[in-house]
Chain A
Amino acid sequence: MKARLLALFGLLVGSSAAWADALTGDVQRQPVNVSAITMFVAFVGATLCITYWASKRSKSTADYYSAGGRITGFQNGLAIAGDYMSAASFLGISALVFTSGYDGLIYSIGFLVGWPIILFLIAERLRNLGKYTFADVASYRLKQKEIRTLSACGSLVVVAFYLIAQMVGAGKLIELLFGLNYHVAVVLVGVLMVMYVLFGGMLATTWVQIIKAVLLLSGASFMAIMVLKYVDFDVSRLFSEAVAVHAKGEAIMSPGGLVKDPISAISLGLALMFGTAGLPHILMRFFTVSDAKEARKSVFYATGFIGYFYILTFIIGFGAILLVSTNPAFKDATGALIGGNNMAAVHLADAVGGSLFLGFISAVAFATILAVVAGLTLAGASAVSHDLYASVIKKGQANEKDELRVSKITVLFLGILAIVLGIAFEKQNVAFMVALAFSVAASCNFPVLILSMYWKNLTTRGAMIGGWLGLISAVVMMILGPTIWVSVLGHEKAIFPYEYPALFSMIIAFIGIAVFSKLDQSVSAGEERARFLPQFVRSQTGLGASGAVSH
């Protein structure tokens, strides 16, 4: 059960990587899919044109990191939704609905409820205080060197784990959908992502994400409508026919015991909710809009698109029960779905729209991976160039040109690293890495960020000790927990009994920060507390906030 819960978690957490079937076993390569490849080439062509257009408009660091702050709330909402609607959530959640019914809905809800909280408590303060990265906000009134180093390390750890998971998942998925060789697929993803980020910066990355979000929402809407048309738009017929043909029968209409142990459930919920509020590539998106007003709108649209998308995947999953599970053409000799259960939505595309639509959905799944890895790469590069190089090494004295050059070198380096790690981890089960990324984000980035905005008494010493404690405890508990200690390292019994450390590591981080901030009576601590007032006024009113760059 625990292994299953983890696999599902991995599958769902915005990562195409966490491909339970594909990750744990050998992938059976599919025949080369011509219409899918044609459509994918069209997508790549269009996005490269956008990258070229964006490269003409991206001159300054502001253009590069935050698209000059000229993205509208609606566009940014689509882009944020795009970061969230990964190939894994599309194929993974519909597969979960396909196999377990109602449980799929429970998981998708867990991913959604963090968004309103981000809006209410974080979005506008973040926008008003920051410029390019969330470390701008965390270090606003604290010591630049220490806090930026901590935040950059937190960001890089999250990006690295997330990226490995994405690359491995991408390779497997592409092998499955397109019939391309795994290594070719990984190199292709790496090269394309570097091109988007290197030449087009945030502007190109955002537009790639927007286009993909529109394609994915349109494709999923079409499938859901075709499913509903099949049952004459009668929802109770959809459910009653699904119950009639599904092996689990009536059980697919109620919770199936995936969330059993309350501690694991709460820990997972915390990791999802607050991890999202600590993901560097998501937080960066709040700086691409002109002001707090647009930042709020972005979250409103994003919540709407994500919620709509999850309702669609629920219908698609039930549609697959009706149209895919009953059709022998989609099954192999043993009666299992060809390519595994994660292919349920892909087979449904074939069932409702023929081979052309199947090609479209496969191309969209590939596009989704590209868009997500591009955003991650940009976030990683910004942490290195803006936080480590410009603020820590050059102490804020770096010139724009050098900073941009460092960022671009980092992008190249991250691209090569992603390809190498993608190949190195080919045979490993990397589903846990996404869980780890979310746990680290919730236990290191999030506590420092939120307390820097809300708690006057926060000092550099407190943030440093608590932040590092959160980061280290999340990683250590994850390693000693059932996921890595038992499943990966093969030990008999886990030293730490729960698979998600977030509940504990978050408490450690918050207590660490609170206690060591309170005990800190140094002169600089007094100055840091005094700077809270102007920071507070700015975070509330936007006075002095970095705005849109005019051209």
Chain B
Amino acid sequence: MKDVYSQIQENPRFQELVAKRERFAWILSALMLGLYLVFIFLIAFVPHLLGTRISPDSPITWGIPMGIGLILSAFVLTGIYVRRANGEFDRLNKAILDEVQK
């Protein structure tokens, strides 16, 4: 098995897959963590900002759309990742495996 693994490791398409997928995963992770940290720091340091009404005649405050938006963004980001990973990345992965197993 060992040479199969080194064979894959040396395959430029494998290196391309790894580079692409890692980069994509880290960017999305940074985005999610960044959004969450901004939210936590807003709460910790400027709580009144989230308590401001979105318009003078609406009881809804900025915190509501931001909070709901954060929940939705978690869902959307996982969706974006799964779409690309299960499509493009898995096709590339299959091509790499086919190459060594034929």
Residues of chain A touching chain B, judged by Cβ–Cβ distance below 8 Å, are 102, 105-106, 108-109, 112-113, 115-117, 119-121, 124, 235-236, 239-240, 243, 250-251, 253-255, 257, 259-262, 265-266, 269, 293, 296-297, 299-300, 303-304, 307, 310-311, 533-534, 536-538, 540-544
Contact = CB atoms under 8 A, between A and B. Distances in A.
B71 A109 contact: yes
Q: Which of B43, B47, B51 has the most CB of A within 10 A?
A: B43
Given A113-B74, A254-B50, A265-B40, 13 more contacts: A113-B32, A116-B74, A253-B51, A254-B47, A257-B47, A260-B44, A297-B82, A300-B75, A303-B78, A534-B1, A542-B93, A542-B97, A543-B5
5 contacts: A112-B74, A253-B63, A293-B90, A307-B74, A534-B1
B99 to A, nearest CB: 11
A331 B81 CA distance: 48
B48 A116 contact: no
A120 B27 CA distance: 9
A321 to B, nearest CB: 13
A541 B85 contact: no
B102 interface: no
A239 B48 CA distance: 18
Interface string B46-68: 01101111000011110110011
B12 to A, nearest CB: 14
A89 to B, nearest CB: 14
Contacts of B90: 293
Contacts of A542: 93, 97
A537 B1 CA distance: 11
A236 B54 CA distance: 11
Contacts of B26: 120
A493 to B, nearest CB: 25
Sorted from nearest, which 4 A-B pairs have the closest CB atoms?
Answer: A254-B51, A240-B59, A534-B5, A120-B25
Contacts of B85: 124, 293, 296
Contacts of B29: 116-117, 120-121
Nearest to A293: B86
A231 to B, nearest CB: 12
B40 to A, nearest CB: 6
Contacts of A310: 71
A374 B6 CA distance: 42
A541 B36 contact: no
A168 B40 CA distance: 32
Given A117-B32, A533-B5, A540-B18, A269 B72 contact: no
Contacts of A239: 59-60, 64
A299 B85 CA distance: 13
Contacts of B4: 543
Q: Is the interface of A mostly helix, strand, loop or mixed?
A: helix
Contact of A253 (B9, B32, B59, B78): B59
Nearest to B30: A120
B41 to A, nearest CB: 8
Contact of B61 (A124, A254, A261): A254
Contacts of A303: 74-75, 78
Contacts of A543: 4-5, 8, 97
Contact of A311 (B51, B59, B68, B96): B68
Given A117-B33, A253-B59, A541 B71 contact: no
Q: How large is the interface on B (under 10, 10 to 19, 20 to 34, 35 or more residues)?
A: 35 or more
A106 B43 contact: yes
Contacts of B18: 540
A296 to B, nearest CB: 5
A105 B9 contact: no
A397 B36 CA distance: 47
A80 B101 CA distance: 34
Q: Which of A235, A262, A543 has the most CB of B within 10 A?
A: A543
Q: Which of A105, A255, A310 has the most CB of B within 10 A?
A: A255
A236 B60 contact: yes
Interface string B69-99: 0111011011101100110001001001100
Interface string B1-43: 1101110110000100110010001101100110010011101
B58 to A, nearest CB: 5
A541 B82 contact: no
B11 to A, nearest CB: 10
Contacts of A113: 32-33, 36, 70, 74
A434 B53 CA distance: 36
Contacts of A119: 78, 81-82
Contacts of B67: 102, 105-106, 109
A266 B37 CA distance: 9
Contact of B32 (A116, A250, A536): A116
Contact of B44 (A121, A250, A259): A259
A299 B44 contact: no
Contact of B40 (A251, A269, A297, A541): A269
Contact of B75 (A109, A117, A304, A544): A304
Nearest to B17: A540
Q: Which of A108, A117, A236, A254 has the most CB of B within 10 A?
A: A254
A297 B48 contact: no
A300 B79 contact: yes
